[in-house]
Amino acid sequence: MAGTAIITGATGGIGDAVTRRLIREGFRVVAVGTRRAALDDLCARQGCEGIAVDIGDGDAVEAALAGLGADVLVHGAGILGPNLPIHRTPAQTVAQLIAVNVTGLFNVVRAVVPGMIERQHGTVVLLGSICGNVAGSGPGVYSATKAAMQSVAANLRFELQETAVRVGEIRLGRVRTGIHGQLGMDADFYDGYECILPDDVASTISHMLATPPAVDLSVIEMMPTRQVAGGTRFSKS
């Protein structure tokens, strides 16, 4: 399978790995991010196309993505934010997390999925987190946004049941991407732990895309072997 793949959050660790993998498999990759310099670097290294856009801006997303004729959408854009209790998270932080992680998700889906329905072809892969359904495994507000993603994935899958468009969600445990630096904690979230690597996620997405068109891998929980399912415990190797 090949065609056009849109990857949001493409300049992050997972996005970079997915971009590299799909280009190797013959896809035309359109990398979406907010940092123009990072996108230019990615395009120079990987040979993809780059679009800089704020996914929280619905009109801008529609203008940038709607006409691309995507066969694949890998939505990985998102921010983690600080490790604060819900009742102590500043309103500005809450608004930013919702704008990127929730409103941004709706904007991207609204721009891309109608074209897939019209062509009766396409696969949507949403990169979620185990914290969306396991209390205490992530910051409260971020976890709430990932719970919203789980609901979007399930409802989108239901709404598209009479089409040939597939929807899959990967609920990730700890991935060594560096995003945990946003938590603002002294703890080292990687040292001594055998975490999932971005290339592992890219391989899983490649498998999802390679399954027969009549097969939809709707929900995948992807965990490090030593991290207990649900994510509440993680032993060092």
SS (H, E, C) 17-77: HHHHHHHHCCCEEEEEECCHHHHHHHHHHHCCEEEECCCCCHHHHHHHHHHHCCCEEEECC
Q: Active site residue: 70, 103, 142, 224, which one?
A: 142
Q: Which residue in the block uniquely carries the two structure tokens 């929900």?
A: 219
Rounded to the nearest angstrom, the gap between the alpha carbon of residue 125 and the centroid of all alpha carbons in its chain is: 7
Mark whether 190 is an active-site residue.
Answer: no
CA-wise closest residue to 114 among 64, 168, 175, 70: 70
Count of beta carbons in the 10 Å neighbourhood of residue 95: 12
139 phi, psi to nearest 5 deg: -55, 140
Q: Which amino acid is at 167?
A: V
Residue 72 near residue 22 (C-beta atoms within 8 A): yes
CA pair distance 11, 93, nearest whole angstrom: 22
Token pair, residue 197, equals 């690597």
Q: Which residue in the block uniquely carries the two structure tokens 């993809």?
A: 48
Token pair, residue 151, equals 């609901």
CA pair distance 61, 38, nearest whole angstrom: 19
Order of strands, sheet of 49-52, starting from the edge strand that comes earlier in the sequence: 49-52, 28-33, 4-8, 72-75, 122-129, 165-172, 219-222
Which residues have a catalytic role annotated? 142
